[in-house]
Amino acid sequence: MSDTPVLLSSEIPSLSPIIDLAVVEVGGGPLVVCADRDGAVWTWDPQRDLWQKRPLAYAFAEDPLAVEYPDAENELNSLAAAVSGSRVLLAAGGHEQGSALWDLGSGELPRGARYGEPYVGSMATVKGEGPPRFVTGSDAGVLVWGLSAEELQVELPDSDIHGICTVATARINGRSLVVAGGSDVGMWDLARDEQLASFYPDDGSVEAVAVSQIADRPIVVAADPGQVYVWGLSGDEGDEPIYDPIVGHEGGVSALDTATVGNRPLAVTGGADATVRIWDLAEGGAGVGAPLTGHRGGVTVVRTTMLNGREVALSAGLDGVIRAWDLAALVS
């Protein structure tokens, strides 16, 4: 098994760490949208290894109070993206900024932010059919919202989790699911507007969450700084993990996503030790292969996606470089 990535990007031109990314399909190929630590948004075209900075209108430009802050700029830490017609839509916000929606191509604001709105801990795109919708995790709870200002943000029930810093979405057995993590972890069914379960890690707050399934059974995967938990949404274990937490990274787990490769449910994690690791969720969280190396510094974000017809894990972090790992080759 080789730990050589399928693709390796050049370094982001800002020379700033990449702290979040999303992937959309544009013109028959993938486009990776990134937020760097300076609060700027960039895109990376994997086919041409082309980086492009995306100038965006100030998120509060439509708020009357914006005139009081003429020199203010966006400080975006978390983002999600979706395609609507011919447009790529970017939903983003930050630790000091509420959520807004941009046309990524023009940089214009279909939906601006308002002063006084909650700051953003994390964002994700809702998986499913229909017009794009987004999920925002903040101290105000887990909010679901659409493209226009008329589509008000709807707070999911019992979502007042302290310190939400991570949200994820999935389409499992025809249901659009949302999971959020902070001091504890919750999962919701969007169509029924109800909480399905809540879980409680042993040590500290959750850094990253994802959703997968073992056979037909949905599972929640969550990482706190030291280990990865796997909880089931049904069964006799209540809020206990279905097996012992996964431990492996030195210095803590900082990033997480899931994928299914050949009917094999996997978790892919990134850590402060600059490695990416793969775990078999159906086999008690057993490690798959050796740690994947190459990053110069901690891994801050991992996303699984399709790239040129292959299931890959994209990892990025403090070195400002994106690596695409071929999951099918790595687990064969």
Q: What 3 state SS string does the chain have?
A: CCCCCCEECCCCCCCCCEEEEEEEEECCEEEEEEEECCCCEEEEECCCCEEEECCCCCCCCCCHHHHHCCCCCCCCCEEEEEEECCEEEEEEEECCEEEEEEECCCCCCCECCCCCCCCCCEEEECCCCCCCCEEEEECCEEEEECCCCCCCCEECCCCCCCCCCEEEEEEECCEEEEEEECCCEEEEECCCCEEEEEECCCCCCCCEEEEEEECCEEEEEEECCCCEEEEECCCCCCCCCCCCCECCCCCCEEEEEEEEECCEEEEEEEECCCCEEEEEHHHCCEECCCCECCCCCCEEEEEEEEECCEEEEEEEECCCCCEEEEHHHHHC
pLDDT score, position 6? 85
Mean pLDDT of 166-172: 95
* pLDDT tens figures, 276-301: 999 999 999 999 999 999 999 999 99
Q: Judge whether residue 271 has pLDDT over 70.
A: yes
Mean pLDDT estimate for the chain: 91
Please check the confidence at residue 65 and state whether its pLDDT lies above 90.
no
pLDDT band at 238 (very low <50, low <70, confident <90, very high): low
pLDDT of 153 over the 90 cut: no
pLDDT of residue 71: 84
pLDDT of 104 strictly over 90? yes
**Whether pLDDT at 150 is above 70:** no
Does 64 or 124 have the greater pLDDT score? 124
Task: Quick: pLDDT tens for 176-226.
Answer: 999 999 999 999 999 999 999 999 888 778 999 999 999 888 999 999 888
pLDDT for res 253: 92
Low-confidence winner among 156-160, 199-203, 283-287, 325-329 (lowest mean pLDDT): 199-203
Q: What is the mean pLDDT of residues 235-243?
A: 72
- What pLDDT score was predicted for residue 2? 47
Structure confidence at residue 70 as a pLDDT band (50, 70, 90): confident
Query: Mean pLDDT throughout 118-136?
Result: 92
Note the pLDDT of residue 125.
97
Residues 278/283/285/289 CA torsion (nearest 10 deg):
-30
Q: How confident is the model at residue 307 (pLDDT cuts 50, 70, 90)?
A: confident
pLDDT bin (cut points 50, 70, 90) of residue 152 is low
- Which sign does the torsion angle of CA 30, 253, 211, 289 carry? positive
**Residue 1 confidence (pLDDT):** 39
Percent of the chain at pLDDT > 90 equals 73
